[in-house]
Amino acid sequence: MEEFMIRADEIAAYVPQVRPHNQFRDGKLFFMVSRRPLLELSREEILLYDSIDGRKSVAELEGMYPGARHRLMRWHDAAIIELIPPITSPSGPHLVIIEPHMDDAALSMGGRLLHRRGRCRITILSVIRWSNFTSYMELNRPFLDVHNITKLREQESALAARVLGAEHCCLDWYDAPLRIWPAERWSPDIVQKFNENPGTFVNFCPDSSDVLHIAEQLIDRLSLLAPDEIWIPMGVGDHVDHRTTRSACLLMLAKARGRFLDVPVVMYEDVTAPADFGYAAKISMALAGGGARLVRGTEDITDVFEEKLRVLSIFASQFKLSYMEPRIRKFGEHEGGSAGKFAEPYYRVEGEPCLPLESQLFRKDPASLQTDIHRLLPKMTKYRRLTVMALPSGRIGTWKANKESLMAAFPNIDLRGYVSEKTAWQAEEGGKDKLRLQVVRGRWRGWGGVILRNLFRFQTPTLILWYGAYGTSIRRRLIKWMLPFRYVLFSATLCDFICILNEQLGNIDKGFGL
Q: What is the pLDDT of residues 215-269, one digit of tens each?
A: 999 999 999 999 999 999 999 988 999 999 999 999 999 999 889 989 999 999 9
Q: Stretch 139-154: mean pLDDT, rounded?
A: 87
Query: Do 112 and 80 fall into the same domain?
Result: no
Residues 258 and 222 in one domain: yes
Q: Are residues 162 and 41 in the same domain?
A: no
Number of alpha helices (DSSP H) and beta strands (DSSP E) in the chain: 21, 17
Domain range for 59: 11-84
What pLDDT score was predicted for residue 428? 66
Which of 57-61, 326-330, 392-396, 509-513 is modeled with the greatest confidence?
Answer: 57-61
In a domain, 479, yes or no: yes
Report yes or no: 128 and 173 within 8 Å, Cβ to Cβ.
Answer: yes
Lowest mean pLDDT among 34-43, 104-113, 427-436: 427-436
What band does 198 get if pLDDT is binned at 50, 70 and 90?
confident
Kindly report which listed range (283-292, 295-304, 380-389) carries the lowest average pLDDT score. Answer: 380-389
Are 164 and 122 within 8 A, CB to CB? yes
Q: Tell which residue, 339, 271, 276, 277, has the closest CA to residue 302.
A: 339
* Rounded Cα distance, 421 and 414, in Å: 23
Confidence of residue 329 (pLDDT cuts 50, 70, 90): very high
Residues 224 and 147 in one domain: yes
Amino acid at 477: R
Please check whether residues 346 and 374 belong to one and the same domain: no
Q: Are the beta carbons of 126 and 172 closer than 8 angstroms?
A: no
pLDDT, tens only, 363-421? 888 999 999 999 888 888 788 888 888 888 888 877 778 888 888 888 888 888 888 87
pLDDT, residue 5, reads 67
Q: Please, what sign has the CA dihedral across residues 406, 409, 412, 413?
A: negative
Model confidence at 302: pLDDT above 90 = yes
Quick check: 431 pLDDT over 50? no
Predicted local distance difference test score (pLDDT) of residue 514: 47
Say whether both 347 and 373 belong to one domain: no
Backbone angles phi and psi of 366, in degrees to 5: -95, 25
Is 359 contained in some domain?
no
Question: Taking all residues of the chain, what is their mean pLDDT, rounded to a whole number?
Answer: 89
DSSP β-ladder status, 293-300 and 265-268: unpaired
74 and 115 belong to one structural domain: no
Please state, in angstroms and as integers, the Cα–Cα distance from residue 49 to each residue in 29, 318, 458, following that order.
Answer: 10, 24, 74
* Residue 475, domain CATH: 3.40.50
Q: What is the mean pLDDT of residues 28-35?
A: 90
Q: Is residue 448 part of a domain?
A: yes
pTM of the model: 0.92
* Least confidently predicted of 10-14, 425-429, 469-473, 508-512: 508-512
* pLDDT tops 80 at residue 116: yes
Q: What is the 3-state secondary structure (H, E, C) of 384-428?
A: CEEEEEECCCCECCCHHHHHHHHHHHCCCCEEEEEEEHHHHHHHC
Residue 508 lies in a domain: yes
Please name the residues in contact with 258: beta carbons below 8 A apart, sequence gap of 6 or more: none
DSSP annotation of 18 = E
Count up the domains in the chain and report the number.
Answer: 3
Going along 310-400, which residue ranges are E strands? 343-350, 385-390
Q: For residues 158 and 324, which has the higher predicted lDDT (pLDDT)?
A: 158
Give the lowest-confidence range in 60-69, 81-90, 295-304, 389-398: 389-398
Listed ranges 12-21, 201-210, 369-378; the one with the highest mean pLDDT: 12-21
pLDDT for res 341: 96
Domain boundary among 84, 118, 139: 84
Judgement on whether residues 159 and 258 belong to the same structural domain of the protein: yes
Nearest one of 213, 205, 229, 251 to 109, comparing CA atoms = 229
Residue 241's Cβ-count burial label (10 Å; 0-12, 13-18, 19+) is: buried
Tell me: do 288 and 390 sit in the same domain: no
Q: Is 362 contained in some domain?
A: no
State the DSSP code for 378: G
All residues at 6 or more sequence positions from 492 whose CB lies less than 8 Å from its CB, including other chains: 364, 394, 395, 465, 466, 467, 468, 469, 470
Q: Per DSSP, what are the bridge partners of residue 345?
A: 298
Instruction: Give the CATH number, domain containing residue 298.
Output: 3.40.50.10320
Least trusted range by pLDDT, from 100-104, 155-159, 289-293, 419-423: 419-423
Last residue of a domain, one of 84, 115, 143: 84
At 425 the pLDDT is 82
CA dist., res. 12 & res. 15, Å (int): 8
